[in-house]
Amino acid sequence: SVPAFSTIPRRKTLVCFKFQIRSMASHIVGYPRVGPKRELKFALESFWDGKSSAEELQKVAAGLRVSIWKQMADAGIKYIPSNTFSYYDQVLDTTAMLGAVPSRYGWGGGEIGFDIYFSMARGNASVPAMEMTKWFDTNYHYIVPELGPDVEFSYASHKAVQEYKEAKALGIDTVPVLIGPVSYLSLSKLAKGVEKSFSLLSLIDKILPVYKKVVAELKAAGASWIQFDEPTLVMDLDSHKLHAFTHAYKELESSVSGLNVLIETYFADLPAEAYNIVTSLKGVTAIGFDLVRGSKTLDLIKNGFPPGKYLFAGVVDGRNIWANDLDASLSTLHGLEGVVGKDKLVVSTSCSLLHTAVDLVNETKLDKELKSWLAFAAQKLLEVNALAKALAGLKDEAFFSANAAAQASRKSSPRVTNEAVQKATAAVKGSDHRRATNVSTRLEAQQKKLNLPMLPTTTIGSFPQTLGLRKVRREYKASKISVEEYAKAITEEIKEVVKLQEELGIDVLVHGEPERNDMVEYFGEQLSGFAFTVNGWVQSYGSRCVKPPIIYGDVSRPKAMTVFWSTLAQSMTNRPMKGMLTGPVTILNWSFVRNDQPRFETCYQIALAIKDEVEDLEKAGINVIQIDEAALREGLPLRKSEQAFYLDWAVHSFRITNCDVQDTTQIHTHMCYSNFNDIIRSIIDMDADVITIENSRSDEKLLSVFHEGVKYGAGMGPGVYDIHSPRIPSTEEIAERINKMLGVLDSKILWVNPDCGLKTRKYSEVKPALSNMVAAAELARMQL
């Protein structure tokens, strides 16, 4: 759907004002593919379930592509990307393009079809999926290529060329987008069995021939531009890696001659060395920079940009949902015009819009004022075009003044600023917050009160969320059932969960989180300063999307959020009941965060709100409180130079939440799997009494990490079984895991728990699994 204030259709303009069109240079790095109402998700899942055919899936996909291209053309975008659509993931698409299918999928050559493609993505009956990992510091996950010296590359997916032709048939000449060869290799891992010393970058000369073929076909099809995404350039790179860029693009030079080649970089500033390399690449005529996250890149550009090359200036934020400050962007752009020349400046997004929500038009529940502060992908197209038009001397005054009014209303709104919160936050900055005594003293005081056995058992919080339970929450939200009926249903559920845990013999119980849809949303809905969308979905992986809350104002907690349910649950048992909270860093990292104050300030505000909750739980007689920081590592900046600062305020925020509880109150924290090795010091510095960490997918790599924890003395609960799989682990298997851990960890500090929450599992899986877990703990206790 095209909002009413869009510009006149482009083709018409082309005829009348040829010159103006040439100068209105606008570009979009990439666009969400899932659809404004997650159409692709539903089409994919229906296909996977065997409920619809491949043709039906292809039809939905083609419809989405067409509507996106048309939307961009109608918005007046000049450089419209193609091949940014994907059935699953753009890195997997590249793997398919290069024919780099791991042998276990039994690919027999030829063009890669859905069967092989989705087997790699999701596994099949006999072979598990390829590994998935986070795309830089986003919440998007890509399928990790598995490469080694024996991989034979071949041109096995013509998707890029097909998409280019598909758009061309509609009269839209696009810029085909490929993941650049160096970034592709840098994002890969060594296939099983390959020598650790093997350099993935040494494969560059093997993959370039395929890239050359793709380029040749694109040229033959009429392409005049090509975009290589090389986000790896923003990382800390050694000279060996930097040299790979020079080598690769020199190799490609003759193939791309006659084409305009755009190298896109995004997600951070460019280090000076990388800037020097990318601006002097052979055959490259244009470079795109993220100017939202990269304020230092601007200085580099001002100090020198190669004459004759295009600068694609990413001034419209692809990672957030805020309306652009158009006046500020325009002045940045004017400054750049002076450096690179009027005809060489192109207005762009900071990165692909894949990482923002799709279209504000579908937000029926946000009020008008708040909506005026926002721009989703569809609105960002209009912003990019408005800026390009303004540069060309065709400023849409009405559009700009509406934007300026929205910026001003956001700045002065009492909904945004809460003096008391600002004051309280200012007071925590700079000072330290720690519990009064050390962890060993506290654990001793806690043990006196809790009287737990050795190797205590617990779970991470959620219990299976049955269809019935989801229905109850949905109907309550839609006011179809009364608050009494809702409370009764949730109470019943908690009763069941408590009873089950007592029967199983678990030592520290949970209430099961039946009242929560999502661990961030639940808190956001009760905190001030948060807003929620109905369709603000962002792809996380494959068909999975998340709908991050929007933090628009100072955060405070009007009233207790979990005390009612936690105390109710505690009243049902004599065993300790864990209070369950989501930590400030995780709430921050899984939300769209305001851009009008530093992230750490918002984080401190959330921390103070959670602190209120912790203290209310303690007052209400809850002696064990878990504060989940599932996403602590997710916020880690890409560049080493910025990591210490982040870790410092993130860990500080966590400590703020519980610094004032009594020694006898036991604070747990939980973290989902990520690469902890480099942040273990920070985890310990959180000063929690018990740390549970997802562990079973990591091949025991984490044990050395936990070893660090031993010196510190806190309780450690490395997950003893994988909750992501329906498989039921045997008692022996869990006991073996526990014994392995006892080889590294003191028996006095080891806890026994699953990897993560159980909400996605079925009771038929959870009951026997937990029963085996308790039996394994008992077995291990007897052997102590």
Nearer to Zn ion among residue 709 and residue 717 (C-beta): 717
Size of the site for ligand GLN (CB under 6 A): 13
CA-only gyration radius of the chain, Å: 27
Nearest to 746 by CA among 713, 721, 719, 769: 713
Interaction of residue 757 with ligand GLN, rule CB under 6 A: yes
Stretch that binds ligand GLN, among 498-506, 564-572, 643-651, 754-762 (CB under 6 A): 754-762
| CA torsion through residues 93, 99, 101, 106, sign | positive
Q: Which residues are catalytic?
A: 724
> Measured over all CA atoms, what is the biggest interatomic distance in the chain, rounded to whole angstroms?
87
The CA distance from 40 to 63, in Å, is 10
Stretch that binds ligand GLN, among 156-164, 186-194, 486-494, 756-764 (CB under 6 A): 756-764
Q: How far is the CB of 586 from Zn ion (least distance, A)?
A: 10
Contact of residue 709 among Zn ion, ligand GLN, none (CB under 5-8 Å per partner type) = none
Q: How far is the CB of 562 from ligand GLN (least distance, A)?
A: 11
The CA distance from 301 to 340, in Å, is 9
Interaction of residue 672 with ligand GLN, rule CB under 6 A: yes
Binding mask 24-53 for ligand GLN (x = CB under 6 A): ------------------------------
Q: CB under 8 Å to 76, separation ≥6 — which residues?
A: 6, 7, 10, 13, 24, 26, 385, 388, 389
Stretch that binds ligand GLN, among 280-288, 522-530, 553-561, 753-761 (CB under 6 A): 753-761
Three-state secondary structure string covering 459-486: CCCECCCCHHHHHHHHHHHCCCCCHHHH
Q: How many residues are there in the chain?
A: 784
Give 346's strand partners: 312
Binding mask 339-368 for ligand GLN (x = CB under 6 A): ------------------------------
Q: Coil, strand, or helix at residue 628? A: strand
The CA distance from 518 to 499, in Å, is 24
Contact of residue 698 among ligand GLN, Zn ion, none (CB under 5-8 Å per partner type) = none
Count CB atoms within 10 A of the CB of residue 316. Answer: 32
Q: How far is the CB of 580 from ligand GLN (least distance, A)?
A: 6
Contact of residue 33 among ligand GLN, Zn ion, none (CB under 5-8 Å per partner type) = none
CA atoms within 13 A on the CB side of 635: 25
**Element (DSSP H or E) covering residue 226:** strand 225-229
Binding mask 468-507 for ligand GLN (x = CB under 6 A): ----------------------------------------
Nearer to ligand GLN among residue 281 and residue 538 (C-beta): 538
Enter the tokens of residue 473: 């929450």
The CA distance from 376 to 370, in Å, is 13
Contact residue for ligand GLN among 346, 577, 651, 756 (CB under 6 A): 756
Q: How far is the CB of 724 from ligand GLN (least distance, A)?
A: 11
The CA distance from 83 to 178, in Å, is 7
Contact residue for ligand GLN among 580, 603, 684, 777 (CB under 6 A): 580
The CA distance from 92 to 151, in Å, is 15
Cα 388 off chain centre by:
30
Contact of residue 628 among ligand GLN, Zn ion, none (CB under 5-8 Å per partner type) = ligand GLN
Contact residue for ligand GLN among 38, 611, 668, 670 (CB under 6 A): 670
238 annotated to bind ligand? no
Nearer to ligand GLN among residue 655 and residue 670 (C-beta): 670
Q: CB under 8 Å to 110, separation ≥6 — which residues?
A: 156
Interaction of residue 756 with Zn ion, rule CB under 5 A: yes
Nearer to ligand GLN among residue 251 and residue 493 (C-beta): 493
The single-letter code of the amino acid at 159 is K
The CA distance from 668 to 627, in Å, is 6
The CA–CA distances, whole Å, from 168 to 16, 21, 161, 172, 221 equal: 22, 19, 10, 5, 9
Q: How far is the CB of 689 from ligand GLN (least distance, A)?
A: 17
694 annotated to bind ligand? yes
545 annotated to bind ligand? yes
Task: Give the footprint of Zn ion on residues 620-639 (CB under 5 A).
Answer: 630
**Element (DSSP H or E) covering residue 300:** helix 295-303
Enter the tokens of residue 346: 């192109």
Contact of residue 187 among ligand GLN, Zn ion, none (CB under 5-8 Å per partner type) = none
Cβ atoms of 45 and 543 within 8 Å: the answer is yes
Interaction of residue 77 with ligand GLN, rule CB under 6 A: no
DSSP-derived letter for residue 345 is E
Cα first-last separation, the chain: 67
Nearer to ligand GLN among residue 531 and residue 627 (C-beta): 627
Nearer to ligand GLN among residue 102 and residue 456 (C-beta): 456
Stretch that binds ligand GLN, among 67-75, 193-201, 413-421, 455-463 (CB under 6 A): 455-463
Interaction of residue 410 with ligand GLN, rule CB under 6 A: no
Contact residue for ligand GLN among 34, 301, 384, 460 (CB under 6 A): 460
Strand pairing category for 528-531 and 550-556:
antiparallel
Interaction of residue 519 with Zn ion, rule CB under 5 A: no
Nearest to 76 by CA among 14, 18, 4, 9: 9
Contact of residue 461 among Zn ion, ligand GLN, none (CB under 5-8 Å per partner type) = ligand GLN
Interaction of residue 744 with Zn ion, rule CB under 5 A: no
Interaction of residue 383 with ligand GLN, rule CB under 6 A: no
The CA distance from 320 to 377, in Å, is 9
Q: Coil, strand, or helix at residue 497? A: helix
The CA distance from 588 to 604, in Å, is 10
Contact of residue 325 among ligand GLN, Zn ion, none (CB under 5-8 Å per partner type) = none
Contact of residue 580 among Zn ion, ligand GLN, none (CB under 5-8 Å per partner type) = ligand GLN
Strand pairing category for 225-229 and 528-531:
unpaired
Give 666's strand partners: 624
φ, ψ of residue 140 to 5 degrees: the values are: -90, 140
Q: How far is the CB of 139 from ligand GLN (least distance, A)?
A: 13
Interaction of residue 628 with ligand GLN, rule CB under 6 A: yes
Interaction of residue 695 with ligand GLN, rule CB under 6 A: no
Interaction of residue 77 with Zn ion, rule CB under 5 A: no
Q: How far is the CB of 579 from ligand GLN (least distance, A)?
A: 11
Q: How far is the CB of 631 from ligand GLN (least distance, A)?
A: 8
Contact residue for ligand GLN among 439, 630, 632, 735 (CB under 6 A): 630
Task: Give the footprint of Zn ion on residues 644-703 (CB under 5 A).
Answer: 672
Contact of residue 635 among ligand GLN, Zn ion, none (CB under 5-8 Å per partner type) = none
Stretch that binds ligand GLN, among 204-212, 409-417, 699-707, 752-760 (CB under 6 A): 752-760
756 annotated to bind ligand? yes
139 annotated to bind ligand? yes
> Tokens 């028996």 label which residue?
747
Nearer to ligand GLN among residue 33 and residue 633 (C-beta): 633
Contact residue for ligand GLN among 27, 33, 633, 759 (CB under 6 A): 759
Angle, alpha carbons 94-98-103 (nearest 5°): 105
Residues 289/143/585/600 CA torsion (nearest 10 deg): -10
Enter the tokens of residue 306: 């190669």
Contact residues: ligand GLN, CB under 6 A:
460-462, 513, 519, 580, 628, 630, 670, 672, 756-757, 759
Q: Binding site for Zn(2+): what residues are annotated?
A: 670, 672, 685, 694, 756
Contact residues: Zn ion, CB under 5 A:
630, 672, 756
